Amino acid sequence: MKKKQIAITLGIMCFILTIALCIQIKTMNEASSAASRTLADNDLRDQVLKWKEKYDNIYNTLKEKQKKLEEVRTEATQNDTLASAKEEQLKKNNIILGLTDVRGDGIIIEVADGNPESFLATINPSNVLVHYNDLLNLVNELNNAGAEAIEINGQRIVNTSSITCEGTVIKVNGEKIGSPFVIKAIGSQGLLYGSITRAGSYIELIKDEGVQTNVIKEDDIYIEKYKGVLNYEYLKPISKK
């Protein structure tokens, strides 16, 4: 009987110890979980603080860049008048050099080889043909009369232009042109027309020899820009000290 009571007592004690161990283990697990959550929360808080610091640094950098950009814009606005003046001067220089399409009042000169009757009436047929020097003389007269832009058969005349003859071929700016020749000139109509058609002018001379000529005033002449390249091999700028 005593053995049975002892066994029952031991069984109860083991059960109680088992329950106590389970409770202790559960308590320890809960404590460990709470500690883990605390550690996780602390780590998350640290990460948030670090990212906030990075954000603040980037935001401050952005503000500095925006300030510098505004300073540049202000400076550009202040210099806008100077930039516009330089741009305007550049445009004027291009017009003078012949690098820009232009239009304006002026005159148009048409010269062509003589008609068949002129050839039959002359002793020297060469006299009724238009030669390169005829074009050159007319261009010189136009320049002397203050022409601001000149064109021959679509070729803009600039300070480096050449009017040459290769056999029976006339070339302007290296491009072949032929009769009839149309010379456009922009400038004072009165001066240009008066200079070209005056008594004893060159066009009167070649007309008397049999070359076909015509001079008209035109209120809106269009002249294209020079299509070649302006090369200056020997010019050198003088530096200001």
- Is 133's pLDDT higher than 90? yes
pLDDT-based confidence at residue 11 (cuts at 50, 70, 90): low
Percent share of the chain, pLDDT over 70? 71
Distance CA 145, CA 138 (A): 11
Give the domain 103-223 fold: Alpha-Beta Plaits (3.30.70)
Distance in angstroms (rounded) separating the CA atoms of residues 67 and 140: 60
State the pairing for strand pair 155-157/212-223. unpaired
pLDDT-derived band of residue 228, with 50, 70 and 90 as boundaries? Answer: confident
Which residues sit opposite 240 in a β-bridge?
A: none
| Residue pair 223/152 in contact by the 8 Å Cβ criterion | no
Query: Mean per-residue pLDDT for 45-65?
Result: 71
- What pLDDT score was predicted for residue 13? 66
Q: Which two tokens stand for residue 231?
A: 């090369």
Query: Model confidence at 3, in pLDDT bands (50, 70, 90)?
Result: low
Please say whether the beta carbons of 203 and 210 come within 8 A. no
4 pLDDT more than 60? no
User: Is the model more confident about 219 or about 3?
Assistant: 219
For 88-112, the pLDDT digits (tens) are: 777 777 788 888 899 999 999 999 9
Q: What is the greatest pairwise CA distance in the chain?
A: 170
Q: Which residue has the higher pLDDT, 144 or 232?
A: 144
Q: What's the pLDDT score for residue 36?
A: 60
Looking at the predicted structure, is the pLDDT value of residue 82 above 90?
no
Tokens of 226: 């020079």
CB-CB neighbours of 40 under 10 Å = 10
- Distance in angstroms (rounded) separating the CA atoms of residues 146 and 185: 10
Which pLDDT score, from 0 to 100, does residue 41 have?
A: 65
User: What is the rounded CA–CA span in Å between residue 16 and residue 184?
Assistant: 123
pLDDT band of residue 118 (cuts 50, 70, 90) is: confident
DSSP state of 210: T
Structure tokens at 22: 């389970």
Q: Which of 163-172, 209-218, 227-236 has the highest mean pLDDT?
A: 209-218
d(CA 9, CA 19) in angstroms, rounded, equals 15
The answer, yes or no, to whether residue 131 has pLDDT greater than 90, is yes
Give domain limits for the chain: 1-78, 103-223
Mean pLDDT within 113-137:
86
